Structure 1
Amino acid sequence: MNAFRQGEWVALTSQKGKKWLIRIEEGPYSSHLGTVQMEDIVGKEEGDYLDTNKGARMFLFRPTLEDYIFSMNRHTQIIYPKDLGAIVFYGDIQPGCTILESGIGSGALSLALLRALGGTGRLISVEKRPEFAHMARVNIVKYFGKPPENHEVVAGDIQDFYMNIKADRIFLDLPEPWHCIASVSQLIRHGGLLISLSPNVGQVQLMFRELKAHGFANITTFELLKRDWMVDERRARPIDRMVAHTGFITIAKRTPRLFTEPEQVILDKV
């Protein structure tokens, strides 16, 4: 196992699961559970622990991508991990893909896509709001330690966007994504996948009509509901609160022809 080093991130984790994501630097770190000396973490392995000056035990783990996404600064609501996992899987992301996304938000989807690309391929993020693009860049660089070489952030409106590319995948997280289908349909190869995330079913219906009108087929829409359980030695029951509806994920395949026949959209609930 690799020992913790100076300058990397650590998830200080209490015995009840409370986490603090801290960069390992010289000096103390304090919380309501007490103080630990950060330099004492250097050389320890994942799963080791330190005791605070108040006697609380803090386990040492490397933060997961989920940990980082929930801790990073953001202007907007993030895409939840349950949806990120589905987007990466059903979007069939693999090393070497060329991916176009809009908008970048705080960078949660960009991080998931870059992880799946594994340093290969290309991710182009189009964002028309400079403050969003800046914060996403900061979050991405903070996670990787440097700007990923295969990532490009472009300032612009996806509705008027043009690049000399044929993307394998296009991801849309926009308030009115149907307005850009005409332009992005020229930027994706035949057989490529377009994936869109929308919170309201009315948005899904408008997207369906535009996708059909611009040569997309096999259009499916679904949502994911995540319910955690409380399990201990005496009981096992669902937790009172759950991450229920966060958005509808629509997936469509680009074809070389336009469709005029009506087709029914499939709405699945997993």
Structure 2
Amino acid sequence: MSFVEYSEEIREGDVAIVYLGHESMMPVKVRHGAQTQTRYGAIRHSADLIGKRYGAKVTCSKGGWVHVLHPTPELWTVTLPHRTQILYTTDIATITLMLELKPGSVVCESGTGSGSLSHAILRSIAPTGHLHTVEFHQQRAQIAKEEFAEHRVDHLVTVSNADVCKDGFGVAGVADAVFLDIPSPWEAVPHAKAALKSHGGRVCSFSPCMEQAQKTCEALLALNFEEINTLEVVLRVHEVRTVSMPLADFGADFGPPAPPLPAVTLKTTTPPREMAAHTGYLTFATKPRTRIV
């Protein structure tokens, strides 16, 4: 099992995602002799998981059943243990698109946090890319390092415990893209520019407040970054339903009354009355190519 390579069969040591229904899921570390308790009863790892195919339907001790899914960055985002606030799939998809990540890309990230975005980056840049991720908090950095090893992606990532605003990313001239998720990203912009390759690259900064985004844009402009823009991703899901509408009867000028007109069946959409709106502002910019005189 790896978060960047699909496996058919569940093996000991894998991190499997148990789907309990109604969008309820939980991650399970598969071990010989272990059991996992669910509301449908116990799952015995040796008998019920090891050797079974991912996606299989597993019957629990009380007679209920669950599905066991192969881990993906999207599933990990909704089941991971929170050490910090995290980014979710809507913003993550925009970030990986706008940073133009692809297999072989080299990326610098700060801070690592709970690793939600990190796993999506690793899948995008595998099998030949590399992620340099920096976390200010020592314990969080160590836990992230252990998780990457457990998820068998540690060959694609280097975890550092440092203050990126003071010390930078520990690399220079190697990155195709830089991502910043820190309280004062404008202080790290010079280090981001130094980490990017001489032929240019992309920067993204995530900030919950517009004042942070403004200061970051000013810092990017001062260092001659181009194509600077800030966007906010708002997901609005419309409910599609079928309605029946009678045709209008405008009456007749003469003659007997007309028979009732038949109703027409239509599809319509209804916007949500309430929705989760603001998550944060994403500021993107491009480092221009170094001109050789």
Q: Same fold (TM over 0.5)?
A: yes
Q: Which whole-Å CA distance do the structure 1 matches of 2:24 and 2:34 have between them?
A: 21
For residue 185 of structure 1, give the secondary structure of its aligned residue in structure 2: helix
Counterpart check, 1:99 vs 2:132: no
C-alpha displacement at 1:135, in angstroms?
Answer: 2.3
Equivalent pairs: percent with the same residue? 28
**Letter in structure 2 aligned against 1:207:** T
Corresponding residue for residue 49 of structure 1: 57
State the alpha-carbon separation in 2 of the partners of residues 107 and 247 from structure 1.
Answer: 17
Quickly say closer, same or farther: Cα 1:232–1:55, change in 2 above 3 A: farther
Task: Report the equivalent of 1:178.
Answer: 186
Q: What whole-Å deviation, never above 9, does each CA across 1:47-89 have from its counterpart, x for those lacking one? A: 3312223221212222332222333233210111111111111
Deviates more, 1:201-210 or 1:157-166: 157-166
Contact 1:72 1:139 in 2 (8 A): no
2-structure distance, mates of 1:226, 1:243: 8
Residue 208 (structure 1) aligns with: 217
Q: Is the aligned partner of 1:122 residue 2:155?
A: no
Residue pair 1:34, 1:52 contacting (<8 A) in 2 also: yes
Aligned to 1:131: 139
Q: Return the offset for 1:248.
A: 0.9
Contact persistence 2:13–2:29 (CA under 8 A): yes
Q: CA deviation at 1:91?
A: 0.7
Q: Residues 174-193 of structure 1: CA distance to partner in whole angstroms, max 9, x if unpaired? A: 11111122332233234310
Q: Distance in 2 between matches of 1:229 and 1:60?
A: 30
Cα 1:32–1:101 shift into 2, 3 Å? same
- Indicate whether 1:86 and 2:94 are aligned: yes
- In the alignment, is the contact (CA less than 8 A) between 2:27 and 2:80 conserved in 1? no
Structure 2 counterpart SS, 1:54: coil
Q: Does 1:154 align with 2:160?
A: yes
**Contact between 1:27 and 1:37, CA under 8 Å: does it hold in 2?**
yes
1:2 is the counterpart of 2:8? yes
Aligned to 1:32: 39
Residue 194 of structure 1 corresponds to which residue in structure 2? 203
In the other structure, the counterpart of 2:234 is 225
TM-score w.r.t. structure 1 length? 0.82
Partner in structure 2 of residue 11 of structure 1: 17
Sort the Cα spacing of 1:168 and 1:54 in 2 relative to 1 into closer, same or farther, 3 A. Answer: same
Query: Which residue is equivalent to 1:246?
Result: 279
Whether the 8 Å contact between 1:49 and 1:57 is mirrored in structure 2 is: yes
Q: 1:149, CA displacement in angstroms?
A: 1.9
Cα distance in 1 for partners of 2:212, 2:105 equals 27
Structure 2 residue runs of 5 or longer lacking an equivalent are: 1-6, 244-268
SS in 2 for 1:76: coil
State the 1:240 CA deviation: 6.8
| Stretch of structure 1 that moved more, 200-209 or 105-114 | 105-114
Please give the residue correspondences for 1:61-80 in structure 2 after superposition, counting only pairs within 5 Å. Answer: 61-80=69-88
Q: Is 1:255 matched up with 2:261?
A: no
Residue pair 1:181, 1:211 contacting (<8 A) in 2 also: yes
Partner-residue secondary structure (3-state), 1:186: helix
- How much has 1:11 moved relative to structure 2? 2.3
Question: 1:250: Cα distance to partner?
Answer: 0.9
8 Å CA contact 1:107–1:137 kept in 2: the answer is no
One of 25, 29, 39 as aligned partner of 1:23: 29
Please report how far the alpha carbon of residue 217 of structure 1 lies from its aligned counterpart in structure 2 after TM superposition.
0.9
SS at match of 1:250: strand
Q: Which amino acid aligns with 2:121?
A: L
Quick one: distance in 2 between partners of 1:60 and 1:157?
A: 39
Q: What is the RMSD computed on CA atoms of the aligned residues?
A: 2.8
Q: Provide Cα deviations, 1:193-245, integer angstroms capped at 9, x if missing partner.
A: 011111111111111111111010111111112345778999x8677764421
